[in-house]
Amino acid sequence: MIAPRAFRVFVLAGLMLLILWSRAQGQGYANLGSDAAGFAVPDRGRQLQFPADHGPHPGFRVEWWYLTANLRTASGEDLGVQWTLFRSALVPEGPAGPGSPGGPGGPEGWKNPHIWMGQAAVTTATSHSYAERLGRGGIGQAGVVTDPFSAWIDDWSLTSADDTLDNLSVTARGTEFSYDLSLQQQGPLILHGENGYSVKSEDGQASFYYSQPAYRVTGTVVLPDGPVEVTGEAWLDREWSSQPLAADQSGWDWFSLRFDSGEKVMGFVLRGERGDFTSGSWITADGATTPLSPAEFIATPVSWSRVAGRDIPTLWQVEIPTRGVSVEVAALNPGAWMGTSFSYWEGPVALSGSHRGTGYLEMTGYGDARSSNPSERK
């Protein structure tokens, strides 16, 4: 018999692989391969259009609305908050693009081919609580609409009063925590890669990827000890694709870093048998963005922690020599393991070295002891 969690892995295997890696087999791209199998593929020349692109893209296989926030309580304690909504399509709906009839694509009701998955977490230096929601498309249990903008699954939501992402409210609730936060943007939307066309491997797999990296946050987080008022900063990622990773790639390490100087950097390392593929964006204080070329962003594990039965690098050295960046990236809580259907590590980090600041780190593909062995990684 397989456990419920393993079952969900089965259900969603091959669907959420872009970031939530198929750990059990340690195999690359599982049944997705680089074949989009009838789904739409990102078109390099396409210009992103807003507000339409804030909404779902049902022609693509996977998509997410991904919010992370570095917060501080009135008494000065740091904590991190995550709110994520994934959409994945079971079968292709043809080349339907954004704004196709019926919202998130396909027929209404249980026959709708989309599955939605929400994940939320609150991480302090001493505790890490997370929750997960799964829902079917087409029945109203989960979805995203654009006017006004609203993304939801069950009672969790990320909403705006208008069709922009400028001012958002976000709520989620688990058995041990809940939060209710207000977000105000402090800068423009950032398009990664080539006007939002973000290459993920040397073979050319790509996704559409944009962010709002500069929200100011106020609100309340309820922890087991009671509610606390928090303030801080948040970062929203939007990404969708159908064939994003190469066959040999087994996981990734993704960084969103916010320097006290006002500059920000998004960088990721896609670990592959043929070598790592790195990419990223350099964002100035006023929101001007420059893509980082493949070798520019260097992330090296410094020390590993034993988390949930596997070794995870929770202290990193990140260097961008062209920008004079050499920082140590340390997890606020090394135990920020998301033991969800697809397990991965995700938590707030603190920066020291050439720059100070905060950020979020996400690491996937460390699920299996075999592939998480530090010596094998090299």
Partner 1 sequence: MIHVLATMFGHWRRAPLQLVLLIAGLALATALWSAVQAINAEARASYERAVERLGTGDMAALTSPEGTIALETYVRLRRAGWQLSPVLEGVWGQGEQSVTLLGVDVLSYPGAPAMAAAAETEGNLDVAGLLMTPGVMFANPGTRAKLERDDQEAARIFSLPDLPPDLVLSDISVVEALLNRPGQLSRLLILPDQPRDLPPLSARAPGLVVTATNDGPLGDPGRLTRSFHLNLTAFGFLSFGVGLFIVQGSIMLSIEQRRGTIRTLRCLGVSVSSLMTALLLELILLALVAGAVGLVVGYSLAGLLLPDVSATLRGLYGAPVDGTLSLRLSWVLSGLGMALAGTLLAGLQALISLRRLARHLSQASYAPARLSASQIQILCLSGAGLIGLGAVVLSFGSGLLAGFVGLGGLMLGSAVLVLPVLNLLLQGARRMAGSPELQWLAADSRLQLPGLSLSLMALLLAVATNVGVGTMVSSFRMTFVDWIDQRLVADVFVEVETEAQAQSVLRWATLLRARSLPQFYSDTRLNSAPLRIYGVVDDPLYREHWPLVRKTPDAWERLHGGGAVFVNEQLAQRDGVQVGDRMTVGPGWSAPVAAVYSDYGNPDKQIIASLPALRAQVPSPTLLRIGLVPPEGMSRDDLAQRLEQDLDITRTAIRDKEAIKSLSIAVFDRTFVVTGALNILTLAVAGFAMLTSFLSQWTRRLPQLAPVWAMGISRARLAGLEFLRSLGFAILTFVFALPLGLGLAWVLLNVINLEAFGWRLPMYLFPGAWARLLLLTCLAAGLAALTPVLRLLRLAPAQLLGVFSNDRP
> Contact positions toward partner 1, by CB under 8 A?
1-4, 6-8, 10-15, 31, 90-91, 109-111, 113, 115, 131, 134-136, 139-141, 152, 154-155, 173-178, 222
Cα atoms in the Cβ-side hemisphere of radius 13 Å centred on 328: 8
What is the closest distance, in whole angstroms, from the C-beta atom of residue 13 to partner 1 in the complex? 7
What is the closest distance, in whole angstroms, from the C-beta atom of residue 157 to partner 1 in the complex? 9
Kindly tell me which of 222 and 315 has the beta carbon lying closer to partner 1: 222
What is the closest distance, in whole angstroms, from the C-beta atom of residue 331 to partner 1 in the complex? 26
Kindly tell me which of 174 and 262 has the beta carbon lying closer to partner 1: 174
Calpha distance 173→159 (Å, rounded): 15
Kindly tell me which of 176 and 263 has the beta carbon lying closer to partner 1: 176
Kindly tell me which of 103 and 272 has the beta carbon lying closer to partner 1: 103
Other C-beta atoms closer than 10 Å to the C-beta of 223 total 17
Element (H, E) at 189: none
What is the closest distance, in whole angstroms, from the C-beta atom of residue 39 to partner 1 in the complex? 12
- Long-range contacts, 348-354 (Cβ 8 Å, 24+): 348/68, 348/70, 348/78, 348/79, 348/80, 348/123, 349/255, 349/257, 350/78, 351/257, 351/259, 351/327, 352/327, 352/328, 353/326, 353/327, 353/328, 354/324, 354/325, 354/326, 354/327
Q: What is the DSSP string of 254-286?
A: EEEEEETTS-EEEEEEEEETT--EEEEEEE-TT
Other C-beta atoms closer than 10 Å to the C-beta of 266 total 26
With CA atoms as reference, report the closest residue to 83 among 155, 138, 149: 155
- Going by DSSP bridges, is the β-strand pair 128-136/142-146 parallel, antiparallel, or unpaired? unpaired
What is the closest distance, in whole angstroms, from the C-beta atom of residue 336 to partner 1 in the complex? 20
What is the closest distance, in whole angstroms, from the C-beta atom of residue 88 to partner 1 in the complex? 9
Calpha distance 338→17 (Å, rounded): 15
What is the closest distance, in whole angstroms, from the C-beta atom of residue 111 to partner 1 in the complex? 5
Kindly tell me which of 13 and 270 has the beta carbon lying closer to partner 1: 13
Kindly tell me which of 64 and 304 has the beta carbon lying closer to partner 1: 64
- Going by DSSP bridges, is the β-strand pair 114-124/78-89 parallel, antiparallel, or unpaired? antiparallel
Kindly tell me which of 155 and 194 has the beta carbon lying closer to partner 1: 155
Kindly tell me which of 191 and 228 has the beta carbon lying closer to partner 1: 228
Locate tokens 């230096």: which residue?
Answer: 125
Which two tokens mark 306?
């034993």
Calpha distance 252→198 (Å, rounded): 15
What is the closest distance, in whole angstroms, from the C-beta atom of residue 16 to partner 1 in the complex? 11
